[in-house]
A and B are shown apart, each in its own frame.
Chain A
Amino acid sequence: MEHSTVVESAQHLTHHVTTQGAALGIIALLPLVGSFLAFVIGKKNRDSAGWIATLAAALSFGCVLNYFFALPEGGAFEHRVFEWFSAGNISVDFLFRFDQLTAVMCLVVTGIGSLIHLYSIGYMAEDESRHRFFCYLNLFLFSMLLLVLGGNLLVLFVGWEGVGLCSYLLIGFWFKNLSFAAAGKKAFIVNRIGDAGFLLAIFLILLNFGTIDFVELGQRIGGASTELYTLIALCLFVGATGKSAQIPLFVWLPDAMAGPTPVSALIHAATMVTAGVYLLARMHYLFVLAPLAMVVVCTVALLTSLVAALIALVQNDIKKVLAYSTVSQLGFMFLAAGAGAYWVAVFHLVTHAFFKACLFLGSGSVIHACHHEQDMREMGGLGKIMPWTAATYWISTLAIAGIAPFAGYYSKHHIITALQTSGESNSLMLAYGECFATVATVVAVLTAFYMTRSACMTFLGSYRGHSHPHESPKTMVLPLVVLAFLAFVGGYLLEHQLSLAGYLHSVLPVHAHGESEGFLASLLHSWPGFLGVGLALLLYTKLTVVPAKLYGLVPPVSKLLADKFYFDEIYDFLIVKPLYLFSFGLWKGADQAVIDGSVNGTAAVVDMTGEVVRVTETGQLRHYGLFMFAAGVFITIFYLIL
């Protein structure tokens, strides 16, 4: 596309009929108040905390619905809370804006958030400090809403940091387990690296365009060099890789599974980790001006999804499988964004939120039932004991596998189509589009395979564990059913009935997508899903000896997969160890020798001087008086000589 047309379309896409004065802040404020109340009241009465937090989340969802229905087509609501600061000709407001993209994100965040709050009541029922849990959970909701409602990059950044903090607090929720606390720290520190990139991007934008307001930025875009756009876009993407767990910063997400399972579902699958995708969609007008950056996004995303899918093949911890699957699916979203199909990225974000939340909650239900056993080798046959969990888990598995009427199919199909046609809008992609699409299809097969594997190992066969599993309480089953229902029909509804593409076309570039296909065609197009599911069913129900043999076939490869491509070890060797050595040197050399040395030396000098001067301090009033008057005489004589 020509540069000028891109700029024009960016200006067009950010030109809304804005309605001022809507009290958007209330959406975010409700969870904040809920967080406070959940802690204060929950401290007295532990059981009330969950209900307070759930109520706050649900009320917030209600507010979002209200604004969603009031939102005129192609319009947006704005809420300028106060002028944050102004310096020179730059003025930054604490601004909320509610447009179509925000509406979709808010609905996902508060909707799924409410369900997971409800679920958590049951899941956390026996935890001593659950008031703290619900306080954090609501605080997370507040930060996430700040992130998606923010009308400029800085408010978004506040939310961005807020969700990072809540993620840290919740991963390390059971902080008495040191490895859990370490996982929290790891997530926080890895995110900081990404945040540095994001901050740089904000500074660059502010420096070059003089505004960080999304709408104003869209109007002022254009005129700068492609190199600048590429630099800004890459900095933004670095931020996104941190938050959304892409290579090279994805290592924190699998460790983040240390947190309670509802947290994994809400933060590390459905909402927070998609913030990076949201950021890219928000800043799409910058990315379309930087074709090179989009190729980088695509490449990194493809690599991430492939690597994560391969690792997921051999994981035995049910939550680890889901974690790597999340990384892989986030890769898919970035693939869509990199291919220029931002609305598809958002589409996959929404459907992924449905089925992945459901999968995580299902795994939580299983873990709850098996008394905190997470190893799938210790499960099996749970389908008969907990039918609701099993049914919802299977539905979501089919959804993530991308089998036709289920939600995942539609978004995945769009992603692969978008990759195939990405050359139309980005000449750099022309040569790679088909190649990317092929690898993405392979990843889709792998996804279907490992998810079915996990479902088979958990629910089919006979029970291999030692405890006495049981079906979960109603508060846990209800969200599962709702989410499974959404995972079942959500994709179809958004594709055909509600038309997400049409809804988003006023804020995101929507290229003409193929005319809707028939049911049979879509079944045909979901062959990767069928292939993966079928293969897994065959291997894990009938030919159960084959997987072990395959695993032992090429030991180095299986070892590589089981050890997660040695990412942690490589980082440890390349970054952590040198940094540690450097810090150690600073500690011994700079701190202890120079700084401590000078401080202690000063103290020693003072000490010695004190020992000498001490003689004059007799403690007797008369001597002090004598010294004082002698000094007076001395000064007088001095004065006299002068």
Chain B
Amino acid sequence: METIVFYLLAASIVFTGVAVVAMRNPIHSALALVCNLIGVAAIFASLQAHFLATVQVIVYAGAIMVLVIFVIMLLNIKEEKPARERFLLLGGVVLAGFAFFVALSFVFLHQFQVTPELTDEITGSVANIGRVLFTKYVFPFEAASLLIMAAIVGSIMIAKTKRREVS
């Protein structure tokens, strides 16, 4: 049962991932990415990382993707022009991606000689995550809030219309 669920999820993730790259219309890409991210959330859930699964849906699929779609609509971006590209380059790129994939999987398969099993000692429940986050990782957590604060200020400053340009 677990295996079937995993393969279903993996298939949907790969399919939507390819769709993100392949779609001409950015809106279609974005919708494919939302599906992809929900799939990832499901993977998280299957790995017993309940908290992350929730956050994945809320932050990624919810907030960030809404922001992306909002920007696409705000800028009214048309479909990308058909690439009058050097197809050689495109092929090379796909080939490179594939080589990358093969090489990395080779590394990993050889590195873990003993096929590692998943343990169920401790799960990523909200309670457990919270305990670790506010004890061992309290300083990085606070630093993260600072980072977000800086990002907010930075994005406002960057995107703001300069006063001279208004008139």
A and B touch in the complex (CB under 8 A): yes
Interface residues of A (CB under 8 A from B): 626, 629-630, 632-633, 636-637, 639-640
Whether the Cβ atoms of A629 and B107 lie closer than 8 Å is: no
Q: Is B77 among interface residues, defined by CB-CB distance under 8 A?
A: no
A633 x B99 contact (CB < 8 A): yes
A529 to chain B, nearest CB (A): 85
Q: For the complex, is B137 an interface residue (Cβ under 8 Å from A)?
A: no
A632 to B97, alpha carbons, bound, how many Å?
A: 10
**Is A629 a contact of B100 with CB atoms below 8 Å?**
yes
Q: Is the interface of B mostly helix, strand, loop or mixed?
A: helix
How many A-B residue pairs have C-beta atoms within 8 angstroms? Tell me.
Answer: 20
Identify A640's interface contact among B93, B96, B97, B106, CB under 8 A: B106
Bound-complex Cα distance A636 to B102 (A): 10
Q: Are A640 and B103 in contact (CB under 8 A)?
A: yes
A632 touches B93 (CB 8 A): no
A636–B108 Cα distance when bound, in Å, is 11
Q: List residues of chain A with CB within 8 A of the CB of B97.
A: 629
- A632 — nearest CB in chain B belongs to which residue? B100
Q: Give CA–CA (A633, B93) in the complex, Å.
A: 12
B107 contacts A626, CB within 8 Å? no
Q: Which residues of B contact A640 (CB under 8 A)?
A: 103, 106-107
In the assembled complex, the CB of B100 is this many whole angstroms from the nearest CB of chain A, namely 5
A637 to B103, CA, bound (A): 7
> Chain A nearest CB: distance from B92 CB in Å?
8
Nearest A residue (CB) for B100: A633
Q: How far is the CA of A162 from the CA of B99 in the complex (A)?
A: 75
Does residue B143 face the partner (Cβ distance < 8 Å to A)? no
User: When the two chains form the complex, which single residue of A626, A636, A637 contacts B93, counting CB atoms closer than 8 Å?
Assistant: A626
Decide if B72 is an interface residue (CB 8 Å cutoff): no
Q: Who on chain A is nearest to B103 by CB?
A: A636
Q: Which residues of A contact B99 (CB under 8 A)?
A: 633
Within B90-117, which residues are at the interface with A (CB < 8 Å)?
Answer: 93, 96-97, 99-100, 103-104, 106-107
Q: How far, in whole Å, are A7 and B33 apart by their CA atoms in the complex? A: 98
When C-beta atoms are compared, the residue in chain A nearest to B104 turns out to be A636
Whether A629 lies near B103 (C-beta < 8 A) is: no
Cα separation A251 to B104 with both chains bound (whole Å): 83
Q: List 9 A-B contacts (CB under 8 A).
A: A629-B100, A633-B99, A633-B100, A636-B100, A636-B103, A637-B103, A640-B103, A640-B106, A640-B107
- Cβ–Cβ < 8 Å partners of A636 in chain B: 100, 103-104, 107
Q: Whole-angstrom distance from the CB of A126 to the nearest CB of chain B?
A: 52
B136 to chain A, nearest CB (A): 32
Interface residues on B, range: under 10
Measured CB to CB, the residues of B under 8 A from A are 93, 96-97, 99-100, 103-104, 106-107
Give the residues in chain A near B104, CB-CB below 8 Å. 636
Shortest C-beta distance, B153 to chain A (Å), equals 25
Q: How far is the CA of A626 from the CA of B106 in the complex (A)?
A: 21
Query: B96 and A633: CB pair below 8 A?
Result: yes
Give the residues in chain A near B103, CB-CB below 8 Å: 633, 636-637, 640
For the complex with contacts A633-B99, A636-B100, A636-B104, 15 further pairs of A-B residues with Cβ separation under 8 Å are: A626-B93, A626-B96, A629-B97, A629-B100, A630-B96, A633-B96, A633-B100, A633-B103, A636-B103, A636-B107, A637-B103, A639-B107, A640-B103, A640-B106, A640-B107
9 shortest A-B CB distances, which residue pairs?
Answer: A636-B103, A633-B100, A633-B99, A637-B103, A630-B96, A629-B96, A633-B96, A633-B103, A636-B104
Residue of chain A at shortest CB distance from B99: A633
CA distance A637 to B97 in the complex (A): 13
Cα distance A633–B97 when bound, in Å? 9
- Give B97's nearest chain A residue, CB to CB: A629
CB distance from B164 to the nearest CB of A (A): 28
- Closest partner residue, chain B, to A637 (CB atom): B103
Instruction: Identify the interface centre among B93, B97, B103, B106: most chain A CB within 10 Å of its CB.
Output: B103
Distance between Cα atoms of A636 and B99 in the complex (Å): 10
Query: In the complex, which residues of chain B have a beta carbon less than 8 angstroms from the beta carbon of A629?
Result: 96-97, 100
CA–CA, A637 and B104, complex, Å = 9
Task: State in angstroms the CA–CA spacing of A252 and B10 once bound together.
Answer: 93
- Inter-chain contacts of A639 with B (CB < 8 A): 107
Measured CB to CB, the nearest residue on chain A to B101 is A633
Shortest beta-carbon distance from A627 to chain B in Å:
10
Shortest B87–chain A CB gap in Å is 15
Q: In the complex, A320 Cα to B100 Cα: how many Å? A: 90
CB contacts (< 8 Å) of B107 on chain A: these are 636, 639-640
CA distance A630 to B99 in the complex (A): 10
Give bound CA distance, A596 to B99, whole Å: 50
The minimal Cβ–Cβ distance linking B6 to chain A, given in whole angstroms, is: 26
Q: State A629–B93 Cα separation when bound (angstroms).
A: 10
Chain B residues with CB under 8 A of A630: 96
The distance in angstroms between the C-alpha atoms of A630 and B96, with both chains bound, is: 7
Contacts of B106 in A (CB 8 A): 640
Nearest Cβ on chain B to A497's Cβ, whole angstroms = 81
CA–CA, A633 to B104, complex, Å?
9
Tell me, rounded to whole Å, the shortest Cβ–Cβ distance linking B97 to chain A.
8
| Residues on the B chain within 8 Å of A637, using CB | 103
Q: How far is the CA of A639 from the CA of B106 in the complex (A)?
A: 11
Q: Which residues of A contact B96 (CB under 8 A)?
A: 626, 629-630, 633
When distances are taken between beta carbons in the complex, the residues of chain B under 8 Å from A626 are 93, 96
Chain A: minimal CB distance from B83 (Å): 11
B129 to chain A, nearest CB (A): 31
When distances are taken between beta carbons in the complex, the residues of chain A under 8 Å from B100 are 629, 632-633, 636
Residues on A with beta carbons closer than 8 Å to the beta carbon of B93: 626
Give the complex CA separation of A630 and B106 in angstroms: 17
A640 to B104, CA, bound (A): 9
How many Å from the CB of A639 to the closest CB on chain B?
A: 7
Q: How far is the CB of B61 from chain A (nearest CB, A)?
A: 25
Tell me how far the C-beta of A633 lies from the nearest C-beta in chain B, rounded to whole angstroms. Answer: 5
Q: How distant is A181 from chain B, measured CB to nearest CB, in Å?
A: 49
In the complex the two chains form, what is the Cα distance from A626 to B94 in whole Å? Answer: 11
B residues less than 8 Å from A633 (CB atoms): 96, 99-100, 103
B98 to chain A, nearest CB (A): 10
Q: Report how far A82 CA is from B1 CA in the complex, Å.
A: 85
Nearest Cβ distance between residue B93 and chain A, in whole angstroms? 6
| Closest CB in chain B relative to A630 CB, distance in Å | 6
CB B161 to nearest CB in A, in angstroms, measures 25
